[in-house]
Amino acid sequence: MGWWLPPAASTFAGPIDMLFLVILIITGIALVLVEVGLVVFIVKYRARPGRKAFYTHGSTRAEIIWTAIPAVTMVALGLVSNHYWVKMKDKDSVPADAYRVGVMGKQFEWQMTYSGTDGKLGTDDDFTVRNQLHITVNQPVAVELTAEDVIHSFFVPEFRVKQDAVPGMHIIAWFQATKTGEYEIGCAELCGMGHYKMRARVFVHTPEEFTAWMAQQAAGGAE
């Protein structure tokens, strides 16, 4: 088993994993500082007979240092994080050429609606497939998320994609897969008794495979 985030398979994984590593290093330094400090103090300043503690109420200089360093670090981290956040989640971040798929969560399955031959959702040739999301590698995909009953959450670990599907809302989550293959979609929000089995699959195809799959669907082929 792995000791890291799942294998990466989308364009988001690069910056997210890098940021994760940066935070791990920053917090790791702070953690070692505190834990080693505590252990050293416990050993070094253990009570000994005849010794008295050093009487002090503090040090303004030390306080300024350990206020300023976290403050500056956090602001910097916030700025860097926001730079990527806006690129991933902002409503203007969805690429114009993204392939659009409707995904509706309902107890306890995912329904994927494809635009059919006209390339437009909401028309007569749309067709719906249960628990299967078929997409093309290296092409942006915009998932139009809705929910029929309660809140669900669309989660593909390898793509570093997570977005709640909320009844009454129409939320777009986009991503771009970078590796062909088959991945799992999980539900990340408690949605009732069958929450645990609300599992679906993503198939990332080459453009040729995807066209073939589409043609098969249009011909009324098996799922």
Partner 1 sequence: MTSVAHAKPDAHGGGGHHAAMSFWQKYIFSTDHKIIGIQFLFVSLFFLLLGGLLAMQIRWQVGFPGKPMPGGGILPESMVSGGVILPEYYIQLVTMHGTFMVFFAIMPLLVGVYANFLIPLKLGAHDMAFPRINMWSFWLALLAGLIMLAGFFVPEGTSRAGWTMYAPLSARPDLSGATVGQMLWCVSIVVLGLSSVMGSVNYITTIINHRAPGMTWFRMPLSVWALFVTAILAVLALPVLQGAAIMLLFDQTIGTHFFDPVAGGQALLWQHLFWFFGHPEVYILILPAMGMVSDIISNGSRKPIFGYHSMVFAIVGIAFLGWIVWGHHMFMSGMNPTLGSTFMVSTLLIAVPSAIKVFNWMGTMWRGNLRLHVPMLNAIAFVSMFTIGGLSGIFMAATPVDIPIHDTYFIVAHLHYVLFGGSLFALFAAIPFWYPKMFGRMMDERLGKIHFWLTFVTYNLVFFPMHMIGMGGQMRRLYDPTIYDFLKPQQPLNEFITISAFALFAVQLIFAFNFLWSLKKGKVAPQNPWEDNGLEWSLPNPAPHGNWAPHTPNVYRGPYEFSAPESGDADFLPQTKKLPTDRDPVPAIPPAGH
User: By CB under 8 A, what part of segment 113-132 binds partner 1?
Assistant: none
Rounded Cα gap, residues 218 and 116, in angstroms: 7
Q: How far is the CB of 102 from partner 1 (least distance, A)?
A: 16
| Dihedral angle sign, alpha carbons of residues 128, 129, 131, 133 | negative
Is residue 192 a contact residue for partner 1 (CB under 8 A)? Answer: yes
Q: How far is the CB of 43 from partner 1 (least distance, A)?
A: 9
Contacts of 186 by beta carbon, 8 Å cutoff, 6+ apart? 155, 156, 157, 198, 199
Beta bridge partners of 144: 102, 172
Across 184-222, b (16+ Cβ under 10 Å) vs e yields ebbbbbebeeebeebebebbbbeeeebeebbeebeeeee
Q: How far is the CB of 214 from partner 1 (least distance, A)?
A: 26
> Which tokens sit at 57?
């109420």
Using CB under 8 A, pick the residue from 11, 15, 137, 213 that binds partner 1.
15
Contacts of 163 by beta carbon, 8 Å cutoff, 6+ apart? 143, 145, 153, 154, 171, 173
Per-residue x/- track, 59-98, partner 1 (CB under 8 A): x--xx--xx--xx--xx-xx--xx-xxx-xxxx-------
Is residue 46 a contact residue for partner 1 (CB under 8 A)? Answer: yes
Q: How far is the CB of 205 from partner 1 (least distance, A)?
A: 19
Place of tokens 């009844």: 167
Backbone dihedral angles phi then psi of residue 109, each to the nearest 5 degrees? -155, 165
Using CB under 8 A, pick the residue from 94, 121, 167, 179 that binds partner 1.
167
Which of the stretches 97-105, 110-118, 121-129, 191-199 binds partner 1 when contact is defined by CB under 8 A?
A: 191-199
Q: How far is the CB of 152 from partner 1 (least distance, A)?
A: 10
Number of residues that bind partner 1 (CB under 8 A): 89
Choose between 54 and 124: whose C-beta lies nearer to partner 1: 54
Is residue 5 a contact residue for partner 1 (CB under 8 A)? Answer: yes
